[in-house]
Chains A and B, each alone.
Chain A
Amino acid sequence: MAGSIRYEIGQNAYIKLILHALNHRTSAVNGLLLGRLSGNTDSNPVVEITESVPLFHSQIGLLPPLEIALIQIEEFYRAQGLEIVGYFHANERFDDVELGNVARNIGDHIHRYFPQAALLLLDNNKLEALSKGKDRSPVVQFYTRDSSKSWKQVGSDGSSRLTIKEPAANVVLLDCISSQKWQDIVDFDDHLDDISKDWLNPELFNSCSIAALSCPATDIRGCVALAGMTGSRFFCYHVMFAAESLNSSICHYCQHHHALG
């Protein structure tokens, strides 16, 4: 059935884009989404967004850096069997939730090569509310292009939904934010200014290895992120805190020991 394509974004790709936005809070930023279309075209096709590359934080409306970035990034990921499947944009102002023309134009270009292209717009209100709620959905507005050739926002109840592959991704995101991980992000702008900086950000998540656990009290799956510098942190889906020792941790919420590893 046309229109019932699911979209799934990987945790690392998702977090990278948000951290990039936080690194340059005072300007608009954008990024590319990479992945593939999998599943049969007849039943349950899924656009898997597995990677992302943060692009620019200045003069986003200019073509030359964008063209160079598109060519280089596409060439690089083609070897891994991935293609450009979408675009991420964050507006300059906090309360600006409009999908601007620059974003639409770039989206149109990507759509020409990948008709199921996804457009993501950072939702600042959702991001701000992240610490207060238990929202598992990504802090973005999600647009696709329908047959009317314009970008339409997809609601979270729509048939083409965007979900994050790892359910506790927002918890890990909050941890990255509190440990100020955004400072380590390198984007394509930084690369053009200094080519020794790698837009692949290969070391970004090195200090975090993710292992999945389920909390015996609530049977909810969570992720454990081990942050090298500050010891281990355990995330039960409900709460996060810093553990004392690396061998075990007690979830304050359900008071159960969870063995890490």
Chain B
Amino acid sequence: MGDYCNSNVARRKSWTARHRERERENEEEEEERRTTKMVSKTEEARVTMLENQVDNGGGGAWEYLCLVRKLKLRRSDKVLKHGLSILNDPSKRSSLGPEEWTLYEQVAIAAIDCQCIDVAKDCIKVLQKRFPDSKRVGKLEAIILEAKGSWAEAEKAYSSLLEDNPLDQVIHKRRATMEKAQGNLSGAVELLNKYLEIYMADQDAWRELAEIYVSLQMYKQAAFCYEELILSQPRNPLYHLAYADVLYTLGGLENLQAAKKYYASATDLTGGKNTRALFGICLCTHAIGQLVKGRNKEDKDSSELQSLAATALEKDYKLIAPTKLSSLTKTLRSLNLS
């Protein structure tokens, strides 16, 4: 009965009827929102289309909810709204069959994310009646404690759940989330590292750890995380890109040269379509040029790579973003003069 997909709890104040405040969510978790970057364009387009359709009363709510669950997206306000409309309608609910309970779980988590604790509690009550003594429901209850900010009680709940099931990955990660939610980033890092010693194949966790390291400006450690990710998915261009970004940020000739290689491989893996990788090549060439100025001129095919990237960028901008073409040209010019 494994993982949650959307077990994200936010420390959010409640929404008022008329407007939304800027809610900062103490969040994290590999299991989601960052994964929006991992969603392909076609999948994202499908989700958006379904979302618009359901929003405008065109039906397809269940399909939308399933897709959101599968892609691990974080669309809690929509999930809550459309999920509730199905759950509150007895005929729609019964037509779901055994999937009804999955929906209750999904809506409960979305409700927690939107700080509608009462709705979440109602959903959990229904689940408890159906599945008494369920660990999975127990996890939901602990998440509610998190959402209310009762950190100590939530920690107790998780510890007791772990006693019965010490290998539960989700609970381990939720404890790391709690540290991050309370602002204890170093605690979160420590817990995540411990977790990854055991579950080293959990890519979401590696990604989350990398991002925390970046926010703490611990770039070497972030680079290590991305190296692990590239090892596990060598053909995923996003990891190459992120790794190159971190290397560039670290700086120094070796890192810059490596970064350029990874931007180049990202370009290769994306068929030359990735703007960030193309820009990255230009930046690296320029930065390397600055560093080796005065020394022996490096190989000429480094500047060939840069001019190829620049040409590709100009072609794309001319076609797709012509208003920005002159800014782009000036940018490239300032990078070419070294």
B5 within 8 A of A: no
B85 within 8 A of A: no
A141 within 8 A of B: no
Q: Convert A163-183 into 0s and 1s, putting 1 for each residue whose CB lies closer than 8 angstroms to a CB of B.
A: 000000000001001100000
User: Which A residue sits closest to B335, measured CB to CB?
Assistant: A71
Instruction: Tell me the residues in window 67-98 of chain A with beta carbons closer than 8 Å to chain B beta carbons.
Output: 67-68, 71-72, 75-76, 90-96
Smallest distance from the beta carbon of A127 to chain B beta carbons, Å?
4
CA distance A198 to B317 in the complex (A): 11
Q: Which residues of B contact A218 (CB under 8 A)?
A: none
CA distance A196 to B276 in the complex (A): 14
User: Which B residue sits closest to A200, measured CB to CB?
Assistant: B323
Q: What are 7 contact pairs spanning A and B, CB under 8 A?
A: A26-B24, A59-B245, A61-B217, A68-B283, A92-B24, A94-B13, A198-B321
Smallest distance from the beta carbon of B283 to chain A beta carbons, Å?
5
Most chain B beta-carbon neighbours within 10 Å: one of A18, A92, A101, A200: A92
User: Which A residue sits closest to B250, measured CB to CB?
Assistant: A63
Contact between A94 and B321, CB atoms less than 8 A apart = no
Q: Which residues of A contact B334 (CB under 8 A)?
A: 71, 75
Smallest distance from the beta carbon of A107 to chain B beta carbons, Å?
14
Q: Which residues of B contact A75 (CB under 8 A)?
A: 327, 330-331, 334
Q: How many residues of A contact B (CB 8 A)?
A: 47
CA distance A33 to B178 in the complex (A): 34
Q: Which residues of B contact A15 (CB under 8 A)?
A: none
Q: Which of under 10, 10 to 19, 20 to 34, or 35 or more describes the interface residues of B?
A: 35 or more
CA distance A64 to B12 in the complex (A): 32
Chain A residues close to B by CB (< 8 Å):
18, 21-22, 25-28, 58-65, 67-68, 71-72, 75-76, 90-96, 100-102, 122, 124, 127-128, 130-131, 174, 177-178, 191-193, 195-196, 198, 200
Q: Which residues of A contact B27 (CB under 8 A)?
A: 26, 92
User: Which B residue sits closest to A123, measured CB to CB?
Assistant: B22
Contact between B324 and A93, CB atoms less than 8 A apart = no
- Checking B34, B216, B275 against A195 with a beta-carbon cut-off of 8 angstroms, the contacting residue is B275
B158 within 8 A of A: no
Q: Which residues of A contact B244 (CB under 8 A)?
A: 64
- Checking B211, B242, B249 against A63 with a beta-carbon cut-off of 8 angstroms, the contacting residue is B249
Contact between A192 and B248, CB atoms less than 8 A apart = no
Contact between B24 and A91, CB atoms less than 8 A apart = yes
Contact between A95 and B246, CB atoms less than 8 A apart = no
CA distance A65 to B249 in the complex (A): 10
Given known A63-B245, A64-B245, contact A94–B25 (CB-CB < 8 A): yes
Contact between B19 and A25, CB atoms less than 8 A apart = no
User: Which B residue sits closest to A62, measured CB to CB?
Assistant: B245
- Checking A68, A96, A196 against B279 with a beta-carbon cut-off of 8 angstroms, the contacting residue is A68
Smallest distance from the beta carbon of B302 to chain A beta carbons, Å?
17
CA distance A177 to B21 in the complex (A): 8
CA distance A25 to B334 in the complex (A): 35
CA distance A177 to B23 in the complex (A): 13
B148 within 8 A of A: no
CA distance A107 to B255 in the complex (A): 25
Q: Which residues of B contact A59 (CB under 8 A)?
A: 211, 214, 242, 245
Smallest distance from the beta carbon of B258 to chain A beta carbons, Å?
14
Instruction: Tell me the residues in window 238-278 of chain B with beta carbons closer than 8 Å to chain A beta carbons.
Output: 242, 244-246, 248-249, 275-276
CA distance A67 to B19 in the complex (A): 35
